[in-house]
């Protein structure tokens, strides 16, 4: 067996892709290793959502290029969004790379690997996805508790700052029977949490031409499967969250009461500039519906600081929105211009770097403030958690767990194992996590 090392950058979809890459190659004489120095094949699975992520990918390729000078027989590959977007420049910047393959070409890997093993330099990038039943391929899942299932890939929204439509293509949903089969296999393997993935997960089914194929109905079917497990889904697009989807989350006892709904800006003019297809008021209405329905629901979001032409007053609308919506947590980033995007061409409207990062710091401070406030609401409450890991220090065992609503909970106990569901009474809240003690 040869040894494979995969480094993954970016989102859960990339991590899921890496699990599939490892599975496919395991059936072609490769076993995965955590030590890059002993690997025969090095692959970096990349993200290009921000320039920093792309820079990290090229930096890692540079490190591996130096390794190859001493070990000329090793093979180096790059895949993911940087490969899909930047294929013309990769060989110029890293001529020692043996394999370049795009987000649509994972299931061609058996043939591609044969070619590089014959010392051929290979680049396989297509804009037309290679459609396969993913159940036909082995998956080596890294997490012992949570399993990811991609149910839809790509996006049709064309937000002016985002490269996803260019790197992942248009929306393509998997058929329900494929997803249900994968879920059944996951449950048999002992996983306790299934996360449904999509760049725009609640658009699921729209491209399949059957009005009954929706995320809401998929949740209902998954909920019927036997077993002690729970279900999550990410990432939602605000205006695609239907009343039926909210009903389904309410009806299905296995579906977590957690919504990740990127807002990106709290100002309607900026939302229009971003080509986000909702207003501030419409976003508020969606959040209000969800909060009225679920008692302990967690709603998280994404925000961009310093989008082209954003004024100080418009940025302040974002800070106000986080407070008014009582958001529980948000992913934050300074605007990063990306090739091919409309916003990337708004050079005359770019915000100076010092102002952009000063706004990001204020955004992060607001995020820390609301996270603590959100966590404090749960002090004294009992949450059902899933144990995901444990640490031992000075004879004490701390179990690291996650509640149905995605809150991180730590508690001391030597009675439970990874994968157990436990009721925990919250005794202390900190900014990023909760502490508690198990109760009957």
Beta strands per DSSP E along 212-305? 230-234, 258-260, 298-305
Torsion (CA) 229, 194, 258, 12 in degrees, nearest 10: 150
Report the C-alpha gap between 5 and 379 in whole angstroms. 43
Structure tokens at 57: 């990918």
Residue 284 pLDDT: 98
The confidence band for 241, taking pLDDT boundaries of 50, 70 and 90, is very high
pLDDT for 440 beyond 90? no
* Domain range list for the chain: 2-124, 134-376, 382-438
210-221: b (≥16 Cβ within 10 Å) or e: eeebbbbbbbbe
To the nearest whole number, what is the mean pLDDT of the chain? 96
| pLDDT (mean) for 269-297 | 97
pLDDT for 131 beyond 80? no
Structure tokens at 296: 């302990």
Report the C-alpha gap between 51 and 42 in whole angstroms. 22
Angle at 439 between CA 438 and CA 440, to 5 degrees: 135
| pLDDT (mean) for 384-392 | 96
CATH of region 382-438, choose from 3.40.50, 2.40.128, 2.40.50, 3.30.1490: 2.40.50
The confidence band for 7, taking pLDDT boundaries of 50, 70 and 90, is very high
Alpha helices in 41-80 (DSSP H): 51-70
| pLDDT (mean) for 350-371 | 98
Residue 23 pLDDT: 97
Residue 184 pLDDT: 97
Give DSSP secondary structure letters for 308-372: TT--HHHHHHHHHHHHHHT-SEEEEEE----TT-SGGG-GGGPPPHHHHHHHHHHHHHHHHHHHH
Residue 129 pLDDT: 78
Report the C-alpha gap between 139 and 419 in whole angstroms. 20
The confidence band for 394, taking pLDDT boundaries of 50, 70 and 90, is confident
pLDDT for 215 beyond 90? yes
The confidence band for 87, taking pLDDT boundaries of 50, 70 and 90, is confident
Contacts of 214-217 with CB under 8 Å at 24 or more apart are 214/242, 214/244, 214/245, 215/151, 215/245, 215/248, 216/242, 216/244, 216/245, 216/247, 216/248, 217/176, 217/248
The answer to whether the beta carbons of residues 134 and 178 sit under 8 Å apart is: yes
Q: Tell me the pLDDT tens digit for each residue of 402-432.
A: 999 999 999 999 999 999 999 999 999 999 9
Pairing of strands 99-101, 122-124: parallel
> Is domain 2-124 classified as CATH 3.40.50.2300?
yes
Report the C-alpha gap between 431 and 161 in whole angstroms. 30
Q: Tell me the pLDDT tens digit for each residue of 292-347.
A: 999 999 999 999 999 999 999 999 999 999 999 999 999 999 999 998 999 999 99
Q: Tell me the pLDDT tens digit for each residue of 163-180.
A: 999 999 999 999 999 999
| pLDDT (mean) for 369-385 | 97
Residue 299 pLDDT: 98
Please state the φ and ψ torsions of residue 262, each to the nearest 5 degrees.
Answer: -60, 125
pTM for this model (two decimals): 0.95
| pLDDT (mean) for 361-381 | 98
Structure tokens at 134: 């993913």
Report the C-alpha gap between 197 and 17 in whole angstroms. 11
Closest CA to 101 of 206, 90, 92: 90
The confidence band for 88, taking pLDDT boundaries of 50, 70 and 90, is confident
Please state the φ and ψ torsions of residue 14, each to the nearest 5 degrees.
Answer: -65, -40
The answer to whether the beta carbons of residues 260 and 301 sit under 8 Å apart is: yes
Q: Tell me the pLDDT tens digit for each residue of 40-53.
A: 999 999 999 999 99
Residue 132 pLDDT: 77
pLDDT for 255 beyond 80? yes
Can you tell me which residue has the tokens 């029977």? 177
Return the CATH number of the domain spanning residue range 134-376.
Answer: 3.80.30.20
Residue 144 pLDDT: 87
Residue 10 pLDDT: 93
Give DSSP secondary structure letters for 206-226: GGGT-TT--HHHHHHHHHTS-
Can you tell me which residue has the tokens 């979809």? 13
Q: Tell me the pLDDT tens digit for each residue of 219-236.
A: 999 999 999 999 999 999
Q: How much of the chain exceeds pLDDT 90, in percent?
A: 95
Q: How much of the chain exceeds pLDDT 70, in percent?
A: 100
Pairing of strands 258-260, 298-305: parallel
pLDDT for 135 beyond 90? no
pLDDT for 392 beyond 90? yes
3-state percent helix, strand, coil for the chain, nearest multiple of 5: 40, 25, 35
Please state the φ and ψ torsions of residue 115, each to the nearest 5 degrees.
Answer: -70, -45
């Amino acid at each position: 067996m040869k040894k494979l090392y995969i480094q993954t950058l970016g989102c859960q979809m990339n991590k899921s892709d890496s699990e599939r890459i490892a599975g496919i190659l395991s059936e072609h004489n490769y076993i995965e290793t955590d030590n890059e120095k002993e690997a025969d094949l090095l692959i970096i699975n990349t993200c290009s959502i921000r320039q920093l992520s792309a820079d990290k990918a090229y930096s890692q390729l540079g490190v591996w290029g130096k390794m190859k000078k001493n070990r000329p027989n090793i093979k180096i590959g790059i895949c993911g969004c940087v490969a899909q977007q930047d294929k013309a420049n990769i060989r110029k910047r890293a001529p020692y790379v043996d394999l370049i393959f795009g987000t649509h070409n994972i299931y061609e890997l058996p043939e591609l690997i044969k070619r590089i093993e014959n010392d051929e330099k290979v680049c396989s990038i297509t804009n037309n996805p290679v459609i396969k039943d993913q159940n036909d391929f082995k998956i080596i899942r890294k997490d012992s508790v949570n399993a990811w299932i991609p149910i839809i890939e790509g996006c049709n929204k064309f937000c002016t700052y985002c490269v996803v439509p260019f790197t992942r293509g248009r929306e393509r949903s998997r058929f329900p029977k494929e997803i249900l089969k994968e879920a059944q296999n996951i449950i048999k393997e002992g996983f306790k949490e299934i996360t449904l993935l999509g760049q725009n997960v609640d658009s699921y089914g729209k491209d399949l031409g059957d009005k009954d194929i929706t995320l809401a109905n998929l949740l209902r079917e998954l909920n019927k499967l036997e077993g002690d497990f729970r279900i999550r889904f990410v990432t939602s697009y605000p205006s695609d969250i239907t009343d039926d989807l909210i009903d389904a989350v309410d009806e299905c006892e296995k579906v977590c009461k957690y919504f990740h709904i990127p807002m990106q800006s709290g100002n309607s003019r900026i939302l229009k500039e971003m080509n986000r297809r909702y207003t501030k008021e419409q976003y508020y209405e969606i959040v209000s519906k969800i909060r009225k329905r679920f008692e302990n629901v967690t709603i998280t979001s994404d925000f961009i600081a310093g989008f082209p032409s954003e004024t100080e007053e418009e940025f302040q609308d974002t800070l106000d929105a986080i407070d008014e919506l009582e958001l529980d947590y948000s992913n934050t980033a300074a605007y990063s211009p990306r090739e091919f995007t409309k916003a990337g061409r708004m050079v005359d409207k770019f915000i100076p770097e010092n102002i952009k990062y000063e706004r990001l710091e204020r955004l992060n401070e607001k995020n820390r403030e609301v996270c603590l406030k959100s966590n404090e609401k749960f002090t004294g409450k009992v949450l059902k958690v899933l144990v995901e890991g444990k640490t031992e220090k000075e004879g004490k065992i701390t179990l690291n767990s996650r509640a149905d609503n995605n809150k991180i909970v730590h508690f001391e106990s030597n009675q439970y194992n990874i994968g157990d569901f436990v009721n925990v009474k919250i005794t202390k809240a900190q900014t990023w996590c909760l502490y508690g003690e198990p109760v009957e």
